Amino acid sequence: MNYAPQMNRRSFVIAAAAGGGGLALGLVLPFGPRGASAAVGGPEINAWVVIQPDETVVIRIAKSEMGQGTMTGLAQLVAEELECEWSKVTIEYPTPGQNLARKQAWGSMFTAGSRGIRESQELVRKGGAAARQMLIQAAANGWNVPASECSAAGGVITHKTSGRTTTFGKVADAAGKLEVPKEVELKDPKDWKIAGKPLKRLDTLEKLTGKLVYGIDVSLPGMLNACIKDCPVFGGKVKSFDAEKVMGMKGVKKVVRVGESGVAVVADTWWQAKMALDALPIVWDEGENAKVSSASIAEWLKAGLDADQAFVGNQNGDAKAALANAAKKVEAVYSYPYQNHATMEPMNATALYTADKCQVWCPTQNGDAALAAVIEASDLPAPKCDVHKVTLGGGFGRRGFTDFVRQAVAIAKQMPGTPVKLLWSREEDMTHGRYHPVTQAKMVGGFDANGNLSAFHMRISGQSILASVRPENLQNGRDPATFQGLNPSGLEAAIGYTIPNLLIDHSMRNPHVPPGFWRGVNINQNAIYLECFMDELAHSVGQDPFEFRRKLMSEHPKHLAVLNAVAEKIEWEKPPAQGVHRGIAQMMAFGSYVAAAAEISVVGDSKIKIHRIVAATDPGYAVNPAQIERQIAGSFVYGLSALFYQQCTVKDGRIGQENFDTYNSMRIAEMPKIETIVMPSGGFWGGVGEPTICVAGPAVLNAFFSATGKRIRSFPLKNHNIEFA
């Protein structure tokens, strides 16, 4: 039943090499060999900065913008060190091919794990600072004065002693010919003037007029359109198809096999391709996986809750012995379903293949991996391939994968010289995801005679993302990412409680449904498991859930600070209004500390009205507080949609939900008021796109218990006939 991913050695080597710059952060300076000038023209100062004669500052962005605002935040960091005028800033994306040719001058392009800013901040700030130094040096050379007597501000360079001034645009040519300095000093964040400010995004106007080109909008001369069906059962294959049945349909140009498991129709328009594909008789070889169902998966995972073998994620004291001797024990089993990313823009890629070149235009979170996929699928040498990153209509982790890129190249390869745009239907997208993994958790807490929590065992049973996606990152078979937010220590995702006897372990069971990194990844379920069970423990001994947590958190001051912040803002100490009930939760992940408190009322016995959610985050440094607020509010839409509505069921080996009618997502009427507390404490860099998603669910669930006395331990809530009021 284990799903064995096909690892391709060649693409792995390329992807690993491409990732090197990002992983070696802090050791690798962003200064690659000189390349050609920017596509927009104007001299390149270094890899990050191009300055045009009209003083326009072009900042290169290596990470993918998918709505999370990383483009604006990274540009703020470069501009801060560069000392340019913010109103003169525009951006461009280097291509993954340029990144490869310039030996990862821009670091890793992989944009996931809320790492866009935190993992490249040093690289881009140094890029901006080096460019500033070079511009100043060029001006100083022109004046024949020492650079140390000159300074830059707002794109103007001033020689302090003589008062002479010049501009970036005037010295850019000369600056671009200078050596890139090896050592640069970065500003203290307390001196920031552009970074740290709630600036507006750089890319909004085109999103309001329909002009912005997303992957789905790419158009090339002579381009044809493709619609695809991959075997509905993961791991299955195409047995046969009858192309003759549809070749006469209007606009249809070709019916092609795509790898072993897919069939695509290529036509003048996508709608024609889709109509023909719907009419195309296809016989599938569904294989053994066709026997798998949600029930069979659940049964297998359930057995893992008591299995002898398990990978340990966190352990101190002797939890099993302490539980055996506990004065009081509490036990509960929770489970979490498969979920699809459901980006608004379905997967797509446009490919043009000729005998000596292959180019792809696609929305991707991982430009480097997309390029590796093109090289592999086209079977052309790397210098003959490139990827042009196009705006993403949402990513949430799904577009870090390259399955759709490989398909587009496989189709284009069968039509050399003709550009082909492959677009998945929503139905294809829903049934061929990289799903939020499925797990169950059994938790047991033990109290001593004085009512203190003396022991805690959490057994997770279920799917590992890394076993499927990055098997090379497993540690002797153990998937460390499974324990996200539950780790004993560390700066990434540590548990916020100290319990004398603790064991958190994982019985790995990997069904054939392919898992992926889904916004928030493993904290989505881990926070529900841990924070709802903490609530259960508190109530079992008649203690206030906030105070109960605080007693266990004294050694975790940053976790405690965000929890205190939401409790204070929601006035936890005062009783809520009549009929209103509260819940609270905290977690740490992606390097940030987050907490939420919710106020709800329950209409009838199953309709939840969420009045407000107070959310706090400590991301260390806040590069753009306005965009962080938007990420937090948006993350709750993603998290609450999952909590209330979303489950991908498995029947006969395939996913049962094909569109938004059976896989719903929140609307504006259901949106609670989100009050955000951004409280950067400095000294570390945390992410902001994902961490808060995980606390909305447990905060609401704990409030629901407070209101009704009912514990919900399986999801989504619609399965319990619980809905938004």
Partner 1 sequence: MARFTVNGKPHEIEVDSTTPLLWVLREQVGLTGTKYGCGIAQCGACTVHIDGTAIRSCSLPISEAEGKQVTTIEGLAQNGVLHPVQKAWLEHDVPQCGYCQSGMIMAVAALLMEKPKPTDADINAAITNICRCGTFQQVREAIHAATNA
Positions in the binding site for partner 1 (CB under 8 A): 66-69, 200-201, 203-214, 216-217, 219, 225, 250, 269-271, 342-346, 391-396, 423, 425-426, 626, 630, 633-638, 641, 659-661, 665-669, 671, 673-674
Closest approach, Cβ 632 to partner 1, in A, equals 9
Q: Which conformational region is residue 196 in: left (phi greater than 0), alpha (psi within -120 to 50 degrees), or beta? A: left
CA distance 403 to 405: 5
CB of 41 to partner 1, least distance (A): 26
Q: Please, which residue, 612 or 710, has the CB nearer to partner 1?
A: 612
Residue ranges with strand state E in 337-463: 348-354, 357-362, 385-389, 420-423, 439-447, 453-462
Nearer to partner 1, 207 or 720 (CB): 207
Task: In whole angstroms, give the CA distance from residue 445 to residue 499.
Answer: 10
246, two tokens:
């549809």
Nearer to partner 1, 154 or 198 (CB): 198
Q: What is the dihedral of CA 561, 562, 565, 570, to 10 degrees?
A: -140
Amino acid 638 reads: Y
Residue 653 beta carbon to partner 1: minimum distance, rounded to whole angstroms: 24
**In angstroms, what is the minimal distance from the CB of 629 to partner 1?**
9
Cβ proximity to partner 1, 521 vs 637, nearer residue: 637
Closest distance between partner 1 and the C-beta of residue 671, in Å? 4
Q: What angle do CA 324, 328, 333 make, to 5 degrees?
A: 80
Hunting for tokens 């550009």 — which residue is that? 419
Total length of the chain: 725
DSSP state of 249: S
Return contacts of 23-30, CB within 8 angstroms, 24+ apart: 23/108, 25/107, 25/119, 25/120, 25/122, 25/123, 26/122, 28/104, 28/107, 28/123, 29/123, 29/126, 29/130, 29/180, 29/182, 30/105, 30/106, 30/107, 30/123, 30/124, 30/126, 30/127, 30/130
Measured in whole angstroms, the distance separating CA 287 from the mean position of its chain's CA atoms is 32
Q: How far apart are CA 284 and CA 207, in angstroms?
A: 41
Nearer CB in complex with partner 1: 358/642 = 642
* 8 A C-beta contact, residue 617 and residue 593: yes
Tokens of 634: 């948006």
CB closer to partner 1 out of 233 and 423? 423
By beta-carbon proximity to partner 1, the closer residue of 19 and 346 is: 346
* Nearest distance in Å: CB 675, partner 1: 10
Instruction: Indicate the residue among 160 and 207 with the shorter CB distance to partner 1.
Output: 207
Between 64 and 484, name the residue whose CB sits nearer to partner 1.
64
Output the smallest distance, CB 400 to partner 1, in A: 15
Least separation, in Å, of the C-beta of 631 and partner 1?
8
* All residues at 6 or more sequence positions from 651 whose CB lies less than 8 Å from its CB, including other chains: 293, 294
Nearer to partner 1, 525 or 635 (CB): 635
- Closest separation between CB of residue 662 and partner 1, Å? 10
Q: Please, what is the minimum distance in Å from the beta carbon of residue 393 to partner 1?
A: 3
The amino acid present at 380, given as its one-letter code, is L
